[in-house]
Chains A and B, each alone.
Chain A
Amino acid sequence: MRAVTTGKIFNVILAIVMVAGLVSMVAGCGRDESASGEPGSYSIHDPLVRFKIATTTSLYDSGLWYYLEPLFEEYANVEMDIIYAGTGIALEYGRRGDVDVVIVHDKAAEDKFIDEGYGINRRNFAYNFFLIAGPENDPAGIKGCTAVEAFTKIYEAGMNAPGSIRFVSRGDLSGTHSKEKIIWSNAGFDYATDIQDSGDWYVEAGKGMGPTLLMANEMNAYVLADISTYLSYTQMNPLDITLLVEQDSIFLNVYAAIAINPESDPGTNIDITNIFINWLISEEVQNVLATYGLAEYGRSLFNPIGRGQEDGSADLPGFPPVEAYTEPVPSYTPVNSIIERYTSS
């Protein structure tokens, strides 16, 4: 037996200190506490209650959530984590129960999500319109057309005169991509067989709205975009492509908030979610939406859902019925689970 040398003891102590330091470092990877009130800083409201929302990229990129986040945190006294993703991924987060609420803009996908039992309490709270932007000289001649006519012309130009025009698609299962597919379908095309891989003219970017706009700009191509991203992006980076087609009923873009069904994900914060959804359709937020971006861009980026009655949008096909944005969501009682518990025991 050899006595443990001092060198060995030192090494052990060193190892312990290192591990301890490491653990504290990792554990310290939490939220920084800093004083609230100044721009760019955040306060912890209740770190135990972490309210997570997954929002569509167009709302996030417009900066709307930067504005709304502190308001709701103050209102509900919770800590809000906002994750942005295209509608497809946002709904996937919802299915897996990684968030408490999803904010999306794809009616068909939303319906499926709710039908499958993942979502409840959908409320529409805002809307705006898509648009088609493209080269200023408009080689396909779509200016003044309807969306369906414009898409048909773009297709014909792309197929008949290869290299004359291009169309850049999001190609990422986002709400914008869904809308594009609907327009192709309305124009009488089968998206998978007629459009995808039909030629060099059709480019699938697989990117968010901003990079897709940038790509279309570089390629001098046509692109379908939502008005809010288009306006905020062009404000920051002057683009060569210009707005060619808007004002079409098919361009209607309605944003919805859907609570994650507690039956599907028992860990969800359904009470806060309900407060949140009701808050979104409250007068306070609706008034914010009415003016958001007005000063900066000369027009508001989003319309409060109630404005549909005034500007006639409510008559457009696809506009949600009144109760889908006026009726507050009821507080949650886990009826099914109570019944199940009684019947099974």
Chain B
Amino acid sequence: MAFIQTVNLGYKREGRDILKNVNLAVEKGETHALIGPTGAGKTTFLRLIDMLDMPGTGKIFINGVAVSHSEKSRLEIRRRMAFVLQKPVVFNLSVYDNVAYGLKWRGLKKHVIREKVNDILETVELVKYSKRNARTLSGGEMQRVAIARAIATGPEILLLDEPSANLDPVSAAKIEDLISGIIKQNAITVLMSTHDMEQGQRLADRISVLIDGEIVQTGNAREVFTSPKNREVAEFVGMENIIDGEVISNEGNMAAISVYGKTIEAITEHGVDEKVSVCIRPEDVTVSLARLSSSARNVLEGTIIWTAYSGPLCRLEIDCGFPLVSLVTRRSAEEMDLKKGLKVFGTVKAVSIHVIARH
């Protein structure tokens, strides 16, 4: 059994299912990310793991032992974990006292506490604020206090709930660095939630996708991002083009799929006549003014419906019997003078196409 294991974990709030039959296994020393849209149940799940709330159904096993309902044993387990909440909250006390609190509650001796706290404040670069009231810090600094507070107690399990969600980009990057440092330096099991797929990819060994209270897919970052299991995951991991079609032939996993009267070639195990959806990332669609003579199997002709520039990139939609969104660099878009009404060719390699079953 894994270090953290949930079995059919369920939770209801006001009669509504927040979590349904969640079975998740996190191995010892692993960093596991829960990704999913807002409201998917990520925070609720972390709260259940931290024993803050009582599960409605199912069981949680920590290190092979089922967690009982007695508050005493739950507290004991909780003391082996640390939880950094999404909203940076600090006690209306000095930074030092904030970090020392958890150690005090565990009944540690004053000089031990002092040593540990000072050590950790150094790690999070907050020594100079030691005596300052934590309420006077910025959001990023508060979150650093929260992380310091969490690791001060030397937890076996670290729970992070969207640790950088409410912060500006610079502070968020700093927090991420801090977390990745902690993960590297400690033999610690981390379960974190994030709605930032890329953050999940950067920090986690494995990712679980939680949608509407259910874990839809678990795997390493590559698997989840390139081979989403169903339409919801595909949408969530950034597959902007999800087009319905039917397999018309399949020879050695090289299938031809009929999509709105056009044929797209892709690699898939789905057999003939199966109803499928074709998933294409916009960045995998190459746009050109003339038909490219490359090895790419799929060349789709169409007219540009709209273009939208954002930063160094340009997003555009081509109507080629079905809408196809593409992402190109601003430079190439300007070179080709891409604009509405222009006839273009969208080219997609067969290997870039992910095919999922359609229900």
Contact = CB atoms under 8 A, between A and B. Distances in A.
Contacts of B109: 5
A101 B110 CA distance: 65
Contacts of A6: 110
A3 B107 CA distance: 8
Nearest to B104: A7
A6 to B, nearest CB: 8
A242 B143 CA distance: 79
A127 B110 CA distance: 78
A341 interface: no
Interface string A1-36: 011011100000000000000000000000000000
A3 B109 CA distance: 10
Nearest to B108: A5
Contacts, number: 7
Contacts of A2: 107
Main SS at interface, chain A: loop
Contacts of B104: 7
Interface in B108-122: 109-110
Contacts of A5: 107, 109
A2 B107 CA distance: 7
B117 to A, nearest CB: 15
Contacts of A7: 104, 110
Nearest to A2: B107
A3 to B, nearest CB: 8
B80 to A, nearest CB: 16
Nearest to A3: B107
Interface string A84-114: 0000000000000000000000000000000
Interface in B182-207: none
Contacts of B110: 6-7
Contacts of A3: 107
A7 B104 CA distance: 10
A5 B111 CA distance: 12
Interface in B160-213: none
A217 B109 CA distance: 74
B116 to A, nearest CB: 16
B141 to A, nearest CB: 28
Nearest to B107: A2
7 contacts: A2-B107, A3-B107, A5-B107, A5-B109, A6-B110, A7-B104, A7-B110
The 3 closest A-B pairs by CB, nearest first: A2-B107, A5-B107, A5-B109
